[in-house]
């Protein structure tokens, strides 16, 4: 197949547009990171001060709260988007503290089931309530009627990034 002498560029954008998009993408990333860092730092601080608890520990409990019959341990790193090795000491400590149980599966001795205890559930519910009100406090000045719009755009962003990651 012959190519025309002055074939259009692969992208339909010209150099200046491309540069502008580049800059906008970088700015988007920096804003995203700034917002997350700001909120995460404050939530972490309050978790520590109020409950002497960390967010990763809370996140594990949050997953288990939705699963009355417990969860296969290997499901946690997938849902929380962290590495498996990372969870080992966190789960260890939650077990030690009596918030969750870890029982080997009878069918497959490689597998373990983690499950919230009554005590764990009680503690989690109390913390979750505070977590919600802290978030409400932090986001109070953001107009409520813009929440859903922003959520939608972030969903779209997440989907776009996911697509890019899965393509290769």
Partner DNA sequence: GTAAATTATTTTAAGCATAAAATATTTCGG
Partner DNA sequence: CCGAAATATTTTATGCTTAAAATAATTTAC
Dist CA 164 CA 168 (whole Å): 8
Q: Closest approach of Cβ 33 to DNA, in Å?
A: 10
The answer to whether 84 contacts a copy of itself (rule: CB under 8 A) is: no
- Which of a copy of itself, DNA, none has residue 119 at its interface (CB below 5 to 8 Å by kind)? none
* Letter string b/e over residues 144-166, b meaning 16 or more CB atoms within 10 A of that residue's CB: eeeeeeeeeeeeeeeeeeeeeee
Size of the site for DNA (CB under 7 A): 29
Q: ∠ CA 51-55-61 to the nearest 5 degrees?
A: 85
The answer to whether 61 contacts DNA (rule: CB under 7 A) is: no
The answer to whether 62 contacts DNA (rule: CB under 7 A) is: no
CB 71 within 8 A of CB 120: no
Out of 2, 4, 10, 81, point to the residue binding DNA (CB under 7 A).
Answer: 81
Q: Would you call 59 exposed, middle or buried from its count of C-beta atoms within 10 A (0-12, 13-18, 19+)?
A: middle
Out of 50, 92, 119, 155, point to the residue binding a copy of itself (CB under 8 A).
Answer: 155
Out of 13, 24, 36, 89, point to the residue binding DNA (CB under 7 A).
Answer: 89
The answer to whether 115 contacts DNA (rule: CB under 7 A) is: no
Residues that bind DNA (CB under 7 A): 41, 44-45, 48, 54-57, 72-74, 81-91, 93, 102, 108-112
């Amino acid at each position: 197949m012959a190519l025309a002498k002055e074939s259009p560029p692969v992208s339909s954008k010209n150099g200046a547009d491309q540069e502008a998009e580049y800059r906008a993408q970088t700015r988007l990333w920096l804003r995203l990171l700034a917002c997350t860092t700001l909120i995460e730092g404050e939530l972490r601080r309050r978790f520590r001060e109020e409950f002497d608890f960390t967010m990763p520990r809370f996140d594990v409990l949050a997953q288990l709260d939705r699963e009355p019959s417990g969860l296969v341990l290997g499901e946690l790193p997938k849902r929380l988007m962290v590495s498996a090795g990372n969870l080992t000491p966190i789960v260890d400590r939650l077990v030690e503290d009596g918030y969750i149980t870890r029982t080997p599966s009878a069918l497959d001795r490689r597998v373990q089931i983690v499950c919230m205890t009554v005590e764990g559930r009680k503690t989690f519910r109390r913390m979750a309530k505070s977590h919600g009100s802290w978030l409400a406090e932090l986001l109070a000045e953001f107009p409520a009627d813009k929440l859903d719009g922003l959520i939608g755009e972030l969903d779209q962003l997440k989907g776009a990034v996911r697509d890019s990651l899965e393509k290769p």
